[in-house]
Homo-oligomer: A and B are copies of this chain.
Amino acid sequence: MSELDALLEANRTFAAGFDHAALPAPPARRVAVLACMDARLDPARFLGLGIGDAHVIRNAGGRATEDAIRSLIISSWLLGTREFAVVHHTDCGMLTFSNEELRARPRTETGADAWGIDFLPFGNLEESVCEDVRRIRSSPFIPQDIPVRGFLYDVRTGLLNEVQVDRQAAA
């Protein structure tokens, strides 16, 4: 049995006890979270979110890519979220490679040319959070009255630590 088949079996157990019929699409707590895809992060658990509470957007690094901003536009304009949080984390895989190193691997083994891809690795966690918070804040498509705050999640302690984006900008 594949791992995914085992997960599907777990889903049948989950569905048998499911009791959240007919919740509306707009998030009840009007929050959207952009976080890394890392397996050690479970945003719903570490923020105490219930079913229907908040949008959760995730990608490698928790980066404010065009696609993440597409999602945040839909989240705010169409579904009414009013606060955004960006969450990167300690021991992130994005700290461990360069674009050149990752581009070389699929190229060697598949022959496909990955040189055009920016994998968005970073060298400093606080800086990457600041960069992504600022990118969202400066988007002309995000309502200007939405606060965008940045955090580092510590995978050893489970704690979110806020990154002072404005202070760093002034330093």
CB <8 Å contact, B70 and A59? yes
Chain B residues contacting A3 (CB-CB under 8 Å) are 29-31, 82-83
> How many residues of A are counted as interface, with CB atoms below 8 angstroms from the partner's CB atoms?
93
Residues of A27-74 contacting chain B, CB below 8 A: 27-32, 37-40, 42, 44-49, 51-60, 63, 65-68, 70-71, 73-74
CB proximity of A64 to chain B, nearest CB, Å: 10
> Within 8 Å of chain B (Cβ to Cβ): is A168?
no
A59 touches which of B6, B71, B85 (Cβ 8 Å): B71
> Within 8 Å of chain B (Cβ to Cβ): is A170?
no
With known contacts A3-B30, A77-B102, A158-B20, A11–B57 Cβ distance under 8 A = no
Chain B residues contacting A48 (CB-CB under 8 Å) are 7, 10-11, 13-14
Chain B residues contacting A57 (CB-CB under 8 Å) are 37, 58-60
Chain B residues contacting A92 (CB-CB under 8 Å) are 25
> Within 8 Å of chain B (Cβ to Cβ): is A15?
yes
Query: Which of A63, A85, A159 has the most B CB atoms < 10 Å from its CB?
Result: A159
With known contacts A4-B85, A117-B141, A159–B102 Cβ distance under 8 A = no
14 extra A-B contacts, CB within 8 A, seeds A57-B59, A73-B106: A8-B47, A11-B46, A11-B159, A14-B158, A20-B155, A22-B156, A58-B58, A59-B68, A63-B67, A70-B117, A70-B120, A74-B93, A106-B141, A109-B143
